[in-house]
Chain A
């Protein structure tokens, strides 16, 4: 997979309540809900974000709630990949199970500012910051992520599982 877009940079422990505040979960209109993405810490995010943009997060990205709406609203606003040194497990699972975005891991500290141009090639395991010329190694996808990609997501994988059992 290849991604190229502008960076949106956040710190460690970026939690699900700032990605999408709980009060917004009352909304049934997902498009309306997505207008509140990142509202808690970055009210300008939804105005600035473009299709294909990339979120660069810190340690333990997505900590907190089970709400699948967290990766969903990022994806709806055009984010194709998040890159962070580590993720809270539920956020990472939700990202791939629902097929919303790629939660990529980069153990090195990425030097990037808001708006820097970022290019990622998951096959070559490389992230480049085209603005400042730095580049970083991205970890390979996990076994679970590879299985889900091959099976077109958790829903299709589960359907196969049920059919096999019958």
Chain B
């Protein structure tokens, strides 16, 4: 039977010859990810329900713990929860723990530290776990109960195999448009539930041109169309990653899959990437994306470049390109947060932090922080922020009467310079 890449990965990791959409499978989990927000609850559930009978987690080398959301601990509650999480990590001898100093935003940490290997099934207690799909793997977000069950058993029980939709992008993104604009445009076309219960499979010339950094931005936001996962077939860029990424003992071997030519798709959508303009999400919904020209001139109090969507190395480079020799507008705050310590350090070494400082930006240690209104840039009543992150839900970055626009790091950078939403194409 012809299968899509998502179906093949789920079949392979479930020990089955084939699967079809709607089948309930319980695949072996290659890597399980958790962080400071849901991790302490995973630990509590494990200790309450599994510890007595089973003692240890299923595999101490295949669990990755990356505190990131409220890190470094932003208040006493978080600090006390982190005490519990660290205790769990120690008790269970979890090898891949990345505390402050070697920390970063969880999804970027998986990529940076060599866990995003093709053919894998990765589940994490974070909805943006779909990010890793850009490396030719199946990844999806789960809750705390499921997280504890995975930690105990090494399988994700009762996963419904999703139908796949194929999204094809011809040509090449024009200058000033980035992979963020491509995914926002796509979400704008399909809507917030356009990929409900589905796998979003991205392909085409425009995707092939993109680096893995840029591809991860696309898969990261599949969940904003309510997809189960986003996925891109692995190519030579993924092979290069596999050869050069850090290696870990006790992990399954990578395996390369691609969709059969006659695989079944519930929907096929075609885009001309050459026509994709810089996009901005409005109206409290990531999928409510409009061309930047529609909202150009709207005053912003804050601009944020960072998060699992756009805090990657190339995003820092893009921001620096647009900020070089320019100043943030008086009355607007620009907050830049590299996604990981290694990205932060590279930005220091290569002079990007210098550019950011001279532009008048505030640069912080890696954290999800402001993306979810956690800390390091929370919005007050009536404030407006343009952000390179992934969600602009009501109250997402702070007060329920604040307002968030989503855009690419380029659009955010030039908006910070003008103090109002601006079109990066004017700066080319």
Contacts and interface: CB of A to CB of B under 8 A. Distances in A.
Contacts of A68: 38, 41, 143-145
B157 A158 contact: yes
A135 interface: no
B193 A66 contact: no
Contact of B141 (A66, A98, A165): A66
B396 A28 contact: no
A65 B192 CA distance: 14
A27 B193 CA distance: 30
A39 B373 CA distance: 15
Interface stretch (A17-25, A74-82, A118-126): A17-25
Given A41-B394, A65-B127, A154-B158, A98 B145 contact: yes
A140 interface: no
A22 B146 contact: no
Interface in B160-203: 160, 192-193, 196-197
A23 to B, nearest CB: 5
B142 A162 contact: no
B394 A158 contact: no
A162 B148 CA distance: 13
A115 interface: no
Given A90-B143, A98-B144, A144-B158, A158 B395 contact: no
B393 A90 contact: no
- A contact residues, range: 35 or more
Interface in B1-60: 24, 26, 37-38, 40-41, 45, 49-50, 53-54
Nearest to B162: A89
Contacts of B372: 17, 22-23, 65
Given A60-B226, A86-B193, 18 more contacts: A13-B285, A22-B69, A23-B378, A26-B78, A60-B196, A63-B192, A63-B193, A64-B127, A65-B127, A66-B143, A68-B38, A89-B196, A90-B141, A90-B142, A90-B223, A93-B143, A154-B157, A161-B26
14 contacts: A17-B395, A23-B372, A26-B74, A26-B78, A26-B374, A64-B393, A66-B124, A68-B143, A68-B144, A86-B196, A94-B146, A142-B160, A155-B49, A155-B145
Interface of A: 12-13, 15-18, 21-23, 25-28, 39-41, 59-60, 63-68, 86, 88-90, 93-94, 97-98, 142-144, 147-148, 153-155, 157-159, 161-162, 165
